[in-house]
Chains A and B, each alone.
Chain A
Amino acid sequence: MNPRNPVNAQDLLLEVKNLRVDFRIDRKEIFEAVKGIAFDIPRNSTVALVGESGSGKSVSAMAIMGLLPEDSAIVRADSAILYNRRNLLIQSQDAWQKLRGKEISMIFQEPMSSLNPVFKVGEQIVETLRLHMRLSASQARTRAVELLNEVGIPDPKLRFSSYPHEMSGGQQQRVMIAIAIACEPKLLIADEPTTALDVTIQKQILDLIAALQKKHHMSVLFITHDLGVVGEIADYVVVMRRGEIREQATAQQIFDSPRDAYTKALLACRPRLDRRPRRLPVIEDFMGDKPAPVQPERLRGFALNDEIVLEVRNLGKTFYTREGLFRKRPIPAVKGVSFKLAKGKTLGVVGESGSGKTTVGLTVMRLHAASSGEVLFDGKDLLALSSKEFIHYRRRIQIIFQNPYASLNPRFTVGNILVEPMEIHGIGSSAADQLRLAIELLGKVGLPESAIHKYPHEFSGGQRQRIAIARCLTMRPEVLICDESVSALDVSVQAQVLNLLQDLQDEFHMSYIFISHDLAVVKYMSDHVMVMNDGEVVEMANSDEIYLHPKQPYTRKLLASVPKGREAGVAA
């Protein structure tokens, strides 16, 4: 058993004791999601629960909230969750109802889907207040405006009447936090509250949660897959893997002298701004008996005499929204972007959401029609070609999308998915030949041959992204656009996919356009970096240059928001 947090029992708000949660898969099989874990949450402190997807961290939080699905989840009888020394697991549903929202409240990962889209945000706060605090309508309204102000929504009186879709992702998450703290809970559970947000917004939300925790003397259970995020706000860290606790200690201890190999691995697999090993360390490097090999640094950079494969000149894209019956309002998404992509090199494109970085990628591929500019490839302007002429170029520029759950057709087997582009472009002499090639590519991206007959939903996010990569590889593209391709993945899986992309670039000499909001990832992958804001290029330079000597204030702001964990030498 790992050492427990050395805190006096009276100071503990929540004690999780030997929690075991199983899920019924069908009549015979059960899946052990949480295998007897124990940890404590002291009063007035922040505890981070860290682990990859499938580690059981969210299941544990659901158990604390009493939100586990009753028909499939079994909480073992000897489990106990003591809240103020009262066992939550044996209380009635009514008692849960009283507790939830009032004493323990929760914020979720996706603010957009957690807020009810047809009610004004103010009303949603008022509802919570009237339900639990028994305030009158006008009192609740005043309090709701106060809360909106407290979580940093500008002009709270006006924003009270906004609908969720009228707010940005960061503001929506602020509203969620306002609802969560409305009844002054003793315990706030934050389940990946910043994963769906940009770095700059992430930083603001983290600061907000930390400030609110201090102000209201709450305890916070912060759940995340990214150890780097919690470094600045957590007092204690609990590292989980496969339903078990690997290590729990104070944050200081976890970051300065992690004991468990898995914790070390989690710390190491996140790309860092100050180093660039040839390959990112992955979990497996640490879990074996041998010490992880120290990787030499990879040199990156962009030279003037590099062979250029793709040149974009003055690219522009304007969207239109309808206003009234006849008027259209132009919304420029990309304004005069120019860049050159060298053979075998990577151009990183960074920016917050709404900066136009994704639109650049889609427009270069003609998935959006460009409004102006030229894309020169092989001396031809791709944007000027007819769609028939373009089809021959299509296979030479490929894209990997952000969401591996959405970019694969759920009704196609992996075999269908891989063979389809070959059919379209007449690659491979026969069906058998195409299948052979598909299997070969599966091997290349690190998937077993048996995957060929499975459907996308049978794979995890990282594996699905590998399938998407294999699909692109079937066409042997010269340029690969990675549009936030690792953003939806856990840090540990992200490292594996980044390594895969790097290996493939080394092998096939492809050029990448690597689009991401995560500066550390872009730094790791890119030779040349382009920073975008509001559809314009803010700064473009060699990758090391931009991180060491950022010239523009916007670039500096972006760099400052990167979570640094605890500034400490991590064993790598």
Chain B
Amino acid sequence: MSAVLSSIPVKAQTSSGLWSIAMKRLARDKVGVISGGVVAVFLLLILASALGLVARDWSTEVGVSYANPSFLAGRENLEADAVRAAKKAVAAPPVDLSDVDPLAPRYKEWEERTKQIKTTEIERSETLPFGGDKWGRDVIKKTIKGAQASVFVGFVSAILAAFLGTLFGALAGYYGGRVSAIFEWLYNVFTSIPYILLVLAFAAVLGKGLLTVIMILGITGWTGIYRLIRAEYIKHRSREYVRAAEAIGASHNRRMFVQILPNVTHVILVQLSVHMVGFIKAEVILSFLGFGVPVEMVSWGTMLAEAQNELVIGKWWQLAAAGASMAVLVTAFSLFTDALRDALDPKLK
């Protein structure tokens, strides 16, 4: 129906930038705008938590153990009762052992000194907005703080993997022959080793830390993207427009990255969103195995790992919080990349 389409009068565009036109088109796409908004809210929250504006005190134990969500205030909480009972037991007066205890004479002195230090017993609340974890930490704050680690890991490692996969795939697909053979060999090495083993091997070499997690996931995760991009490049390199570029004297790099790359961005974008989801989940596994984020940090992965035991005793809110925010972010991100892809395609209106 090209004849039909070409007869539509097209308004003269004043700016020629692909991105400015794409943004205008994106603004017209309702799903794109909403999902983009959701992603933006997440990113803002993460930024705010990174800057310490929100959820700075996520590790403060503000509630009783497994505090009920405020909408379930009346629910019985056996765990908190148990902790209280244990505390009461501690508070009971000790048996007098002064006749046998060599330190007994100094107790008086120590007691005086402790009195000088002011301690305030925090009033542990029975309920928290969306419940508490084992130590009585606020699940909402934990989720926000957890997002910081998870999304950062997912995002950066997905970008790293996509970058490596695209670069390798472009080189292998475009040049073919020996170059392709080398990359295929590399690909085979990476895919022939079981994924978890490979990840563990890297983790053992690189040590622990957030950066390590990113490196591991990026370095091991490029293979799938590589395959797809390589196939795309094989398809495109013999297309007439690439040949036309060769005829006007465009260099290999120019043909690879200026001519062909814009025509395969849709693959990269879709892969980016798929991999981001995968890497957020991979971080869960790594954290579970002890190679993930450090102990003093929280991520959605560690939350989900904790949730396993909690679920058995009927405390579902930590799982719900981490799971739901992950689902919302991932869905919004996928829809957003879809919309972005459509907006970037000049052929679709």
A411-B6 CB under 8 A given contacts A395-B248, A475-B248? no
- Residue tally, chain A, CB below 8 Å to B: 46
CB contacts under 8 Å to B, within A447-504, are 450, 452-455, 457-461, 468, 471-472, 475
A424-B254 CB under 8 A given contacts A31-B7, A411-B262? yes
Q: Which one of B31-39, B59-67, B239-247, B321-329 is at the A interface? A: B239-247
A409 within 8 A of B: yes
Q: How far is the CB of B348 from chain A (nearest CB, A)?
A: 10
A408-B247 CB under 8 A given contacts A54-B7, A453-B13, A459-B6? no
Report whether B249 and A424 are in contact in the complex, using a CB–CB cutoff of 8 Å. Answer: yes
Which of A26, A399, A411, A460 sits near B3, CB closer than 8 Å?
A460
Report whether B243 and A413 are in contact in the complex, using a CB–CB cutoff of 8 Å. Answer: no
A95 within 8 A of B: no
A406-B3 CB under 8 A given contacts A411-B346, A421-B248, A475-B248? no
Report whether B1 and A23 are in contact in the complex, using a CB–CB cutoff of 8 Å. Answer: yes
Q: Which of B7, B8, B248 has the most CB of A within 10 A?
A: B248
B2 within 8 A of A: yes
B120 within 8 A of A: no
Could you say which residues of chain B place their CB within 8 Å of the CB of A25?
A: 4-5, 8
Report whether B249 and A53 are in contact in the complex, using a CB–CB cutoff of 8 Å. Answer: no
Report whether A453 and B12 are in contact in the complex, using a CB–CB cutoff of 8 Å. Answer: yes
Could you say which residues of chain B place their CB within 8 Å of the CB of A413?
A: 16, 18
A415 within 8 A of B: yes
CA–CA, A367 and B349, complex, Å: 35
Report whether A398 and B1 are in contact in the complex, using a CB–CB cutoff of 8 Å. Answer: no
Report whether B10 and A401 are in contact in the complex, using a CB–CB cutoff of 8 Å. Answer: no
CB contacts under 8 Å to A, within B246-285, are 246-251, 254, 258-259, 262-263
Report whether B241 and A408 are in contact in the complex, using a CB–CB cutoff of 8 Å. Answer: yes
Report whether A460 and B2 are in contact in the complex, using a CB–CB cutoff of 8 Å. Answer: yes
A409-B247 CB under 8 A given contacts A25-B8, A453-B16? no
B113 within 8 A of A: no
B300-318 contact mask (Cβ, 8 Å, vs A): 1 or 0: 0000000000000000000
CA–CA, A411 and B15, complex, Å: 15
Report whether A401 and B6 are in contact in the complex, using a CB–CB cutoff of 8 Å. Answer: no
A168 within 8 A of B: no
Report whether A367 and B240 are in contact in the complex, using a CB–CB cutoff of 8 Å. Answer: no
CA–CA, A31 and B262, complex, Å: 31
Report whether B248 and A424 are in contact in the complex, using a CB–CB cutoff of 8 Å. Answer: yes
A403 within 8 A of B: yes
CA–CA, A461 and B262, complex, Å: 22
Q: How far is the CB of B344 from chain A (nearest CB, A)?
A: 8
A71 within 8 A of B: no
A-B contact count (CB 8 A): 105
CA–CA, A531 and B303, complex, Å: 76
Report whether B8 and A411 are in contact in the complex, using a CB–CB cutoff of 8 Å. Answer: no
Could you say which residues of chain A place their CB within 8 Å of the CB of B12?
A: 450, 453
**B247 nearest CB neighbor, chain A only:** A399
B347 within 8 A of A: yes
A391 within 8 A of B: yes
B7-34 contact mask (Cβ, 8 Å, vs A): 1 or 0: 1101011111010000000000000000
A139 within 8 A of B: no
Could you say which residues of chain B place their CB within 8 Å of the CB of A471?
A: 244, 248
CA–CA, A363 and B29, complex, Å: 47
A407 within 8 A of B: yes
Report whether B239 and A406 are in contact in the complex, using a CB–CB cutoff of 8 Å. Answer: yes
A412-423 contact mask (Cβ, 8 Å, vs B): 1 or 0: 110110001100
Could you say which residues of chain A place their CB within 8 Å of the CB of B240?
A: 401-403, 406-407
**B18 nearest CB neighbor, chain A only:** A411
CA–CA, A413 and B259, complex, Å: 12
Q: How far is the CB of B176 from chain A (nearest CB, A)?
A: 14
CA–CA, A407 and B259, complex, Å: 12
> Which A residues are closer than 8 A to B by beta carbons?
23, 25-26, 29, 31, 33, 53-54, 365, 367, 391, 394-395, 398-399, 401-403, 406-413, 415-416, 420-421, 424-425, 450, 452-455, 457-461, 468, 471-472, 475
> Which B residues are closer than 8 A to A by beta carbons?
1-8, 10, 12-16, 18, 239-241, 243-251, 254, 258-259, 262-263, 346-347, 349
In the complex, given contacts A460-B3, A461-B2, what are 12 additional A-B residue pairs having Cβ atoms less than 8 angstroms apart?
A23-B1, A33-B4, A399-B244, A401-B240, A406-B239, A406-B241, A407-B240, A411-B262, A453-B13, A453-B15, A458-B6, A472-B248
Listed A/B pairs (27) with beta-carbon separation below 8 Å: A25-B4, A25-B8, A29-B8, A31-B4, A31-B8, A53-B2, A53-B3, A54-B3, A367-B246, A398-B247, A406-B239, A409-B241, A409-B262, A410-B347, A411-B18, A412-B259, A412-B262, A413-B16, A416-B16, A425-B249, A452-B16, A457-B346, A457-B347, A458-B6, A460-B2, A471-B248, A475-B248
Question: What are the 10 closest A-B residue pairs judged by CB atoms, nearest first?
Answer: A54-B3, A411-B262, A406-B240, A421-B248, A455-B346, A394-B249, A407-B240, A409-B241, A450-B12, A453-B13
